[in-house]
Copies of this chain bind each other. A is one copy, B any other.
Amino acid sequence: MPEAHNLGDMMDRIRALLTVIEEGSVNRAAVRLRITQPALSRQMQALENELGGKLLEREPSGVKPTGLGHALVKSMRPLVESYDTALSELRRQARGERSELRVGYLLSAAQSMLTPALAKLRKSLPEVKLKLHDMSPREQIDGLRAGELDLALIGQEGVAAASEFHSTKLCSLHVCVAVADSDPIAARKSIALKELKGRDFIGVDEDQVPGRNRWSTALCKSAGFKPRFAVVVDGITNVLSQVVSESAVTLLPGYFARLQHPGVTFVPVSDEKARWDFIVLWQKGRASTATRALVDALRQVAATQR
């Protein structure tokens, strides 16, 4: 019998040793494990070779653990249990039975849709453990990539990353332009994109809100001009104060019109091409029942809010 250097499954070997020590007999343990005594005897030898020391004292009436055998029992028993539990949970998840659902969203953008959708989910799957995280689009994308989120509600910023995950579009919002109250445009009922040619635009840090500037640029290009970003700020909330202090403009999805911001007026853009998509992203691989249920609920809510 050559010296074993590849050892079947070490965990199974360790489990077998636990059984042998419990029975105090290789033979009786073999019966329990439904293998023959010689196979089990060899497994024990292989384990001893792998660890470099005797685990069992062999006697005519059975076996007794050595000091090393006792130490292995002590350190490995909890480990084997944790391992089995983790594997079991992973198998459940593979079957779609994961009961935890980690959702990322930006509150101001997602609340009107997420709240009713979560109510539906709670009604249909009450045992689901929800973990809700209010975070920026960048954090959402990173969270999905790192496997820390199961699902993200995200706007146009998630479109570029959509191919990395499962995605579905929930709705397409109108776009408005934000201007200072004192701006002549503020009195308008709506405005065409081309009328913004020559105005200063406020951009946002591409790191925090990925794709926002590119989206604005693409829209203006379709209207025949390239926007000049006078200032680039590091967050959405700073955009509006800069619009006022710089007498500039910025393009925003229509849900901003619902937010009151002192000194700022939101004027709808009339161009039909000016749309802001709102999407949901979730991890590739088999989605859990909970994930699918939430995606469905979001679809239904979006359909009724059209």
Contacts and interface: CB of A to CB of B under 8 A. Distances in A.
Interface stretch (A70-78, A114-122, A236-244, A272-280): A70-78
A32 interface: no
Q: Which of A76, A148, A284 has the most CB of B within 10 A?
A: A284
Nearest to A166: B67
B10 A147 contact: no
Contacts of A52: 91, 94-95
A272 to B, nearest CB: 35
Contacts of A8: 6, 8-9
Contacts of A87: 51
Contacts of A74: 147
Interface in A90-134: 90-91, 93-95, 98
A55 interface: yes
Given A9-B10, A71-B90, A94-B68, A286 B53 contact: yes
Q: Which of A7, A66, A93, A147 has the most CB of B within 10 A?
A: A147
A283 B57 CA distance: 10
Nearest to A96: B53
A53 B93 contact: yes
Contacts of A286: 53-54, 66-68
Contact of A86 (B7, B76, B285): B76
Contact of A66 (B6, B55, B79, B285): B285
A284 B9 contact: no
A150 interface: yes
Interface in A210-237: none
A125 to B, nearest CB: 17
A66 B10 CA distance: 27
Contacts of A283: 66-67, 70
A64 interface: yes
Contacts of A68: 90, 93-94, 285-286
Contact of A10 (B11, B73, B284): B11
A287 interface: yes
Interface string A194-221: 0000000000000000000000000000
A23 to B, nearest CB: 15
A95 B75 CA distance: 17
B64 A284 contact: yes
Given A7-B9, A51-B90, A285-B57, A147 B79 contact: no
A8 B7 CA distance: 7
A209 to B, nearest CB: 24
A282 B70 CA distance: 13
Interface of A: 6-11, 51-55, 57, 64-76, 79, 82-83, 86-87, 89-91, 93-95, 98, 146-148, 150, 164, 282-288
28 contacts: A9-B9, A9-B10, A10-B10, A51-B90, A51-B91, A52-B91, A53-B93, A53-B94, A57-B284, A66-B283, A66-B284, A66-B286, A67-B147, A67-B285, A67-B287, A68-B90, A68-B285, A69-B147, A69-B285, A70-B146, A70-B147, A70-B148, A71-B90, A71-B93, A71-B98, A75-B86, A79-B83, A82-B82
